[in-house]
Amino acid sequence: MRENHERYARQVTLSQIGRAGQERLATCTVTIIGCGGLGTVSAGLLTRAGVGRLRLVDNDRVELSNLQRQALYYESDLGRPKAVAAAERLRAIDGDITIEPVVARLRRSNAEKLLRGSDLVLDGTDNDAARYLLNEVCLRLGIPWVFAAVDECYGLTMAIVPGLPPCFRCVFGDPLRPRRGVGTTKGILAPIAHIVASLQASQALRLLLKDGNCTQGLLYVDAWEGRLERVEVKAHPEGCPSCR
């Protein structure tokens, strides 16, 4: 465990974590695909929690409209690659954490290379095509991942663990079938991105600590109405091509 015990003093006292859990977090690698509203918040929380290595994957540059909800950027970052700017801010939080910025878009040609070696993957993307690809590759490599999406004032998140259906495809169906709703963003209330990313980061810590369980079901949050629901989901009744 790092010598700076004071940094994690309020975390190691939690029965869910403890000193052994804190030491485990320091050995973990998490890959975050997308450094937008979700990815910047979850990256900041995992850095502060003491996760040892973060790989940040994004090929976009910071725009003025991002500053409304994307927590790690400032006006001085406009035009910079998001992954690079985010890595700089995270190193300022904790210089002992290894931060690896990757300026790239997740594609079928590079997905396995980007994800291999991760203990966990977090979804910070903004489209279902990327999520179906994450689901396919993570399940093939045996890596758990946490889906998250926000649109307007509501959001969804769900932990997906290889060998423990359902997976993303079980819940949302055939990737070839067009689906309206989450991912066709019309606008985003900033607090919903922070709420969903916080739930996503909590699930990430639980999975990394291997406490023997994870929150089952799809978590639905409406920030405007102040509502949180857990929706029970089941594996595909006829067998899913992705997780069977």
**Closest C-alpha to 196, from 170, 158, 167, 233:** 158
* Cα 85 from Cα 19, distance rounded (Å): 31
Q: Into how many domains does the chain fold?
A: 1
Q: What pLDDT is stored for residue 240 in this prediction?
A: 83
Which domain covers residue 137, as residue numbers?
5-231
| 188 in a structural domain | yes
| 209 in a structural domain | yes
Do 127 and 183 meet the contact criterion of CB atoms below 8 Å apart?
yes
CATH of the domain at 47: 3.40.50.720
| 107 in a structural domain | yes
What is the mean pLDDT of each successive set of 10 residues along the chain, which is 244 residues long?
A: 77 95 96 98 98 98 97 98 98 96 97 97 96 96 97 96 91 70 68 98 95 79 96 81 77
| 243 in a structural domain | no
Collect all residues with Cβ–Cβ distance below 8 Å to 83 and sequence separation of at least 6: 35, 56, 57, 58, 59, 101, 102, 103
| 236 in a structural domain | no
**Closest C-alpha to 63, from 52, 75, 53:** 75
| 197 in a structural domain | yes
Q: What pLDDT is stored for residue 210 in this prediction?
A: 84
Q: What pLDDT is stored for residue 213 in this prediction?
A: 67
| 242 in a structural domain | no
In the block, residue with structure tokens 């790690």: 72
β-pairing, 218-222 with 98-102? unpaired
Q: What pLDDT is stored for residue 180 in this prediction?
A: 47
pTM: 0.93
* Cα 132 from Cα 144, distance rounded (Å): 14
